C-alpha cells in the first residue's frame, strides 16, 4: 500500500489548509468520540443524537455538529429515522483510539523537538522528564494505553507474518519485550504443541498476566519479568518485534548479545521491524523512523544496516521477508 506524499497536498492553498485542518480536527474528534463513549455506544446499536448526548454528557446542539463532521467524513452513518449507526469504519475508530491517545505524549515531544535535537536529548525526555520506559513505569495508565496500541500494531501485521513467513519448527518461543502478549498468543495459536515465554519489564509482565490467564492458551505460556539488557530466558525461537528500532546500535548489540549468550546452536531470532527503503518513499517506515527520533534513541534501519547489526552481534541473516507496507521479518541464526 502506498501513502500519498504530503507534498501532493501543497500545490494549492485550499488543499494545504484542508489537509492540515481536516487531519487536526479529525484526530481531535475521533479522540473525543472514543473518550466520550459515543463510539462504544454506537457499536452496541443505533442511537439518536439526543440519546448520545444523554449518554456522553455532551450538549445536544454541539454534539449534533460533531456528529455532522463524523457522518460527512464517513466514520458513522445516518440511517433510518435519523438514527446514527456504526459501520466497520466506526469499529476501526475504536481500534485506533489507543494510537490517537499516544499523541498526548507525541505532541509535547514535537514542541520540544528543536531544542532537544540541538542539545542531544531525546524529545521524549525533554518533554516528559525521563526516558520513555522509565516514564511508563510511573504512569501506568499511559503504559496500559501504549500496550493496547502495541496490540493493535500486532493485529495489523499478524496476517502478513503467518501468510508470508512460516517459522521453522520450534519447541519454545520467547517474545522478548512482548508487551501484553498479543503476538506470543497469536504465534502459539498458529503453531500447536509449542510453548511460549512472555518476557518484558517486571511491571509490564505483571500487567499482561490477567489477559494471558484468560486465554485458552494460558497453560502454554510462562511470564517472566526482567530486563533484556541483563539476561533473557532460554528458547529456540526469539521474537523481537518493534524492539531493536527503539535503541541505538550499541544498545541493540547488548540486547542481541544477551540472546546470543543463551540461544541453542540451531536456534533462530526473528526481528520484526520496519525496514527503510533504499530510496526514501512516503511510506509507514519513514514515519516510524521519525517517531523513533521523537520517542527514544532508536531508528528504523535499511536492510543492509539491520544485517550488519545482526552480523556484528554474532548472527547470520538466513531469511528476509520484506513488507514494503509495514513490518518486515529478518530471521537470523547464530554463527
Ligand atoms: C515498542 S514496544 C514493542 C512491544 C511488542 N514487542 C510489540 O511489538 O507489540 C517495546 C517493548 O519493550 C519493552 N522493554 C523496554 N525496555 C525493556 C527492557 N530493558 N527489558 C525488557 N523489555 C523492555 C517495553 O516494555 C515494551 O513492551
CA distance 243 to 319: 19
Quote the cell numbers at residue 39: 463510539
Residue 318 scores a pLDDT above 80? yes
Residue of the nearest CA to atom 3 in ligand 1? 242
Gap from CA of 292 to ligand 1 centroid (Å): 13
In percent, the amount of the chain with pLDDT more than 90 equals 97
Residue of the nearest CA to atom 12 in ligand 1? 177
Using alpha carbons, list the distances in angstroms from residue 183 to 50, 123, 168, 242, 276: 41, 29, 17, 11, 22
Residue 3: the pLDDT is 80
Residue 324 scores a pLDDT above 90? no
| Mutation to probe ligand 1, out of 198, 201, 229 (largest number of atoms < 8 A from CB) | 201
Compute the residue count for the chain.
335
Residue of the nearest CA to atom 15 in ligand 1? 133
Residue of the nearest CA to atom 11 in ligand 1? 177
Long-range pairs, 106-112, Cβ under 8 A, ≥24? 106/291, 106/294, 106/295, 109/294, 109/295, 110/294
Q: Kindly indicate the confidence band of residue 2, based on its pLDDT and cuts at 50, 70 and 90.
A: low
Fold match flag (6-90 vs 149-334): no
Residue 1 scores a pLDDT above 80? no
Residue 190: the pLDDT is 97
> Average pLDDT in the 323-329 region?
90
Residue 145: the pLDDT is 98
Of the candidates 1, 77, 68, the one whose C-alpha atom is nearest the C-alpha of residue 43 is 77
* CATH architecture classification, 6-90: Orthogonal Bundle (1.10)
CA distance 116 to 119: 5
Residue 81: the pLDDT is 87
What residues pair up with 334 in beta bridges, in sequence order? 315
Q: Kindly indicate the confidence band of residue 313, based on its pLDDT and cuts at 50, 70 and 90.
A: very high
What residues pair up with 181 in beta bridges, in sequence order? none
| Mutation to probe ligand 1, out of 106, 146, 200, 228 (largest number of atoms < 8 A from CB) | 200
> Average pLDDT in the 269-282 region?
95
Residue 103: the pLDDT is 97
Residue of the nearest CA to atom 19 in ligand 1? 227
Quote the cell numbers at residue 279: 530510496
Q: Kindly indicate the confidence band of residue 90, based on its pLDDT and cuts at 50, 70 and 90.
A: very high
Cβ of 167 less than 6 Å from ligand 1:
no
Cβ of 201 less than 6 Å from ligand 1:
yes
Least confident of 76-85, 96-105, 215-224, 242-251: 76-85
Gap from CA of 298 to ligand 1 centroid (Å): 13
**Tens-digit pLDDT profile for residues 123-169:** 999 999 999 999 999 999 999 999 999 999 999 999 999 999 999 99
181: left (phi over 0), alpha (psi -120 to 50) or beta: left
- Which single residue is written with the C-alpha cell 546470543? 260
Residue 41 scores a pLDDT above 70? yes
Cβ of 297 less than 6 Å from ligand 1:
no
Cβ of 186 less than 6 Å from ligand 1:
no
Residue 4: the pLDDT is 87
| Domain spans, the chain | 6-90, 149-334
> Average pLDDT in the 216-237 region?
98
Residue 325: the pLDDT is 82
- Which single residue is written with the C-alpha cell 512460516? 166
Gap from CA of 288 to ligand 1 centroid (Å): 16
- Domain spanning 149-334 has what CATH number? 3.40.50.150
Residues labelled catalytic = 245
> Average pLDDT in the 84-109 region?
98
In percent, the amount of the chain with pLDDT more than 70 equals 99
For the chain, the average pLDDT equals: 97
What angle separates helix 13-35 from helix 88-119, to the nearest 10 degrees? 110
Gap from CA of 178 to ligand 1 centroid (Å): 6
pTM over the 0.75 mark: yes
| Mutation to probe ligand 1, out of 146, 175, 243 (largest number of atoms < 8 A from CB) | 243
Of the candidates 175, 261, 161, the one whose C-alpha atom is nearest the C-alpha of residue 220 is 175
Amino acid at each position: 500500500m502506498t501513502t500519498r506524499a504530503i507534498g501532493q497536498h501543497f500545490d494549492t492553498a485550499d488543499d494545504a489548509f484542508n489537509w492540515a485542518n481536516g487531519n487536526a480536527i479529525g484526530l481531535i474528534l475521533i479522540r473525543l468520540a472514543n473518550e466520550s463513549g459515543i463510539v462504544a455506544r454506537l457499536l452496541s446499536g443505533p442511537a439518536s443524537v439526543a440519546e448520545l448526548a444523554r449518554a456522553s454528557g455532551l450538549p445536544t446542539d454541539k454534539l449534533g455538529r460533531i456528529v455532522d463532521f463524523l457522518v460527512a467524513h464517513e466514520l458513522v452513518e445516518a440511517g433510518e429515522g435519523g438514527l446514527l449507526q456504526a459501520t466497520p469504519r466506526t469499529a476501526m475508530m475504536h481500534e485506533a483510539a489507543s494510537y490517537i491517545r499516544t499523541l498526548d505524549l507525541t505532541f509535547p515531544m514535537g514542541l520540544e523537538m528543536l531544542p532537544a535535537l540541538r542539545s542531544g536529548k531525546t524529545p521524549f525526555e525533554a518533554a516528559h522528564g525521563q526516558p520513555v520506559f522509565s516514564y511508563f513505569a510511573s504512569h501506568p495508565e499511559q503504559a496500559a494505553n501504549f500496550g493496547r496500541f502495541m496490540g493493535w500494531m500486532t493485529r495489523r501485521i499478524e496476517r502478513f507474518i503467518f501468510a508470508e513467513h512460516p517459522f521453522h519448527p520450534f519447541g519454545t518461543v520467547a517474545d522478548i519485550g512482548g508487551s501484553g502478549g498479543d503476538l506470543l498468543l497469536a504465534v502459539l495459536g498458529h503453531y500447536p504443541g509449542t510453548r511460549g515465554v512472555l518476557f518484558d519489564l517486571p511491571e509490564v509482565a505483571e500487567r499482561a498476566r490477567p489477559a494471558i490467564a484468560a486465554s485458552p492458551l494460558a497453560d502454554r505460556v510462562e511470564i517472566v519479568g526482567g530486563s533484556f539488557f541483563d539476561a533473557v530466558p532460554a528458547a529456540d525461537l526469539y521474537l523481537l518485534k518493534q524492539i531493536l528500532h527503539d535503541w541505538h546500535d550499541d544498545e541493540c548489540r547488548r540486547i542481541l548479545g544477551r540472546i546470543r549468550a543463551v540461544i541453542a546452536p540451531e536456534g533462530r531470532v526473528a526481528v520484526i521491524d520496519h525496514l527503510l527503503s533504499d530510496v526514501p518513499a512516503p511510506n509507514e517506515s519513514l514515519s516510524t523512523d521519525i517517531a523513533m527520533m521523537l520517542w527514544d534513541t532508536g531508528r528504523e534501519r535499511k536492510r543492509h544496516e539491520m544485517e550488519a547489526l545482526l552480523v556484528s552481534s554474532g548472527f547470520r541473516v538466513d531469511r528476509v521477508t520484506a513488507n514494503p507496507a509495514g513490518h518486515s521479518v529478518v530471521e537470523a541464526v547464530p554463527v
